[in-house]
């Protein structure tokens, strides 16, 4: 075998080349490591989410994923929830970021409860509740229900449900806690008006039958229709009461919508059409820049002429469809509004399926009166503001009804 000899010069050359390659390899490895460690936070969790966002946006999502990864690395509670639960939590936060109490994301369990609420029959207490000024509030206890009999009042702030704090709780979540089996009890901690101490209510749930309407002809010839809710058949039932009014020979009418939490928009439009000239606007749905507004106009037939004298009673428990009808009668100068500021619930929600077992309830429009006033902003201001105190109520007095009667008696 031929012996290969390597000179010292060649050996140095080989050694330098090897060292250079080694240094390049080290630089490559270090650079790769640094680049991997400082890669966008979303790249660190692709194995979890399996996809990148498809929405075009200028928003920087890096802080979100950095929070995700920091929670994974440092939180002592990280192993108590699944990655999917965190996604549901993030979706709930995203919906809440709009500051709209009616836009809510329902993860699987809450979605099931919500669907049960709108499709099944449950025991409850018969109180319409909602979030007002970021506080869970009683819009109205319905006549003759457990809430009414227990003494709940419009405007009561519900601070706890069965000892659970309601801070930042949505109305849907609160309803799911309040509803339950007939005969069982729910405990409510309530703050009323300017009182400094809370009140505790133990209310036995029952099957709720929501009253719609009743009427009476007063000895002074004034006809009063008490209108409690806008149900699916309320237009027909209200129409029956109008027939009684017409048959009574009276031309002085009080519609009492205090504590009416609203309901079906179609009922408000149908009833309004009997008082307002055909073709005149009753309410419009404003979709912002998403699409042109939907305008609901009177379809008639208008049943009354200028001889009709009418007062509508409203208060903080008058909401939704009750505000639509009241606002239309007020702005078309058909009726005088008497009472206190209405609740201010004038928005339209749509339920959008997100996955097979989750959904998003999102506000898609707001209701505007014929003059373009948003009901959601502050509610309606009566033409004649008349407070009604708890002391007056307890004493059996009704200054708002008295004022309505006084207004009608002053007219020929």
Would you call 331 a catalytic residue per the annotation? yes
Report how many helices (DSSP H) and strands (DSSP E) the chain contains, helices first: 13, 19
Q: What contacts 408, CB < 8 A, 6 or more positions away? A: 222, 252, 254, 309, 311
**Two tokens at 288?**
């912002």
Whole-angstrom distance, CA of residue 148 vs CA of residue 128: 11
Whether the pLDDT of residue 367 is over 90: the answer is yes
State mean pLDDT over 1-19: 54
Q: Which pLDDT score, from 0 to 100, does residue 22 have?
A: 58
User: What is the Cα–Cα distance from 113 to 107, expressed in whole angstroms?
Assistant: 10
Residue 256 · residue 311 · CB < 8 Å: no
Q: How confident is the model at residue 41 (pLDDT cuts 50, 70, 90)?
A: very low
* CATH code assigned to 213-409: 3.90.226.10
Neighbours of 246 (CB within 10 A): 14
Mean pLDDT for the chain overall:
85
Q: Is the peptide bond before 286 cis (omega within 30 degrees of 0)?
A: no
pLDDT in tens, 290-312: 889 999 999 999 999 889 999 99
Q: Is 345 a catalytic residue?
A: yes
Q: Is the pLDDT of residue 353 over 70?
A: yes
pLDDT for 212 equals 86
Q: How confident is the model at residue 46 (pLDDT cuts 50, 70, 90)?
A: very low
How do residues 385-403 score in pLDDT, each as one tens digit?
999 987 887 788 999 999 9
Instruction: Give the per-residue pLDDT at 395.
Output: 86
Multiple choice CATH, 121-207, 3.30.360.10, 2.30.42.10, 2.40.160.20, 2.60.120.260:
2.30.42.10
Q: Which of 132, 252, 297, 345 is catalytic?
A: 345
The band of 146, judged by pLDDT with boundaries at 50, 70 and 90, is very high
Distances (CA, A) of 92 to 99, 317, 365: 12, 29, 20
In contact, 155 and 132? CB cutoff 8 Å: no
Identical fold for domains 121-207 and 213-409, yes or no, is: no
State the pLDDT at residue 344.
92
Q: Which of 170, 250, 331, 403 is catalytic?
A: 331
Is a pLDDT exceeding 80 seen at residue 40? Answer: no
**What global pTM score does this model have?**
0.74
pLDDT of residue 47: 45
Domain residue ranges of the chain, discontinuous segments joined by +: 16-50+58-80, 121-207, 213-409
**Catalytic annotation, pick one of 215, 250, 318, 320:** 320
């Amino acid at each position: 075998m031929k012996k290969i000899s390597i000179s010292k010069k060649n050996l140095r050359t080989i050694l330098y080349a090897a060292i250079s390659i080694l240094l390049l390899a080290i630089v490559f490895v270090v650079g790769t490591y640094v680049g991997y460690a400082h890669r966008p936070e979303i790249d660190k969790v692709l194995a979890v989410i399996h996809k990148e966002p498809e929405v075009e946006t200028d928003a920087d999502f890096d802080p979100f994923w950095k929070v995700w990864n920091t929670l994974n690395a440092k939180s002592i509670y990280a192993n108590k929830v699944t990655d999917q639960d965190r996604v549901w939590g993030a979706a709930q936060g995203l919906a809440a970021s709009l500051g709209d109490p009616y836009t809510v994301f329902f993860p699987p369990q809450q979605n099931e409860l919500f669907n049960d609420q709108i499709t099944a029959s449950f025991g409850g207490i018969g109180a319409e509740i909602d979030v007002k000024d970021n506080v869970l509030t009683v819009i109205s206890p319905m006549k003759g229900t457990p809430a009414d009999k227990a003494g709940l009042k419009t405007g009561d702030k519900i601070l706890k449900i069965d000892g659970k704090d309601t801070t930042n709780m949505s109305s849907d979540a609160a309803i799911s806690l309040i509803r339950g089996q007939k005969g069982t009890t729910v405990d409510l901690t309530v703050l009323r008006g300017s009182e400094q101490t809370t009140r505790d209510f133990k209310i036995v749930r029952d099957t709720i039958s929501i009253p719609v309407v009743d009427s009476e002809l007063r000895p002074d010839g004034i006809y009063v229709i008490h209108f409690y809710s806008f149900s699916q058949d309320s237009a027909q039932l209200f129409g029956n009461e109008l027939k009684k009014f017409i048959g009574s020979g009276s031309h002085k009418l009080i519609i009492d919508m205090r504590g009416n939490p609203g309901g079906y928009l179609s009922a408000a439009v149908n009833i309004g059409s009997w008082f307002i000239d055909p073709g005149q606007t009753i309410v419009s749905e404003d979709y912002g820049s998403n699409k042109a507004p939907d305008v609901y106009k009177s379809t008639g037939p208008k049943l009354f002429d200028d001889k009709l004298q009418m007062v509508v009673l409203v208060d903080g428990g008058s909401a939704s469809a009750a505000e639509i009808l009241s606002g239309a009668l007020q702005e078309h100068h058909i009726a005088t509004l008497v009472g206190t500021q209405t609740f201010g619930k004038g928005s339209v929600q749509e339920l959008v399926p997100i996955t097979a077992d989750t959904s998003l309830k999102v506000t898609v429009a707001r209701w505007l009166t014929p003059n373009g006033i948003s009901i959601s902003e502050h509610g309606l201001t009566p033409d004649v503001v008349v407070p009604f105190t708890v002391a007056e109520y307890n004493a059996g007095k009704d200054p708002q009804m008295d004022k309505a009667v006084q207004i009608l008696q002053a007219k020929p």
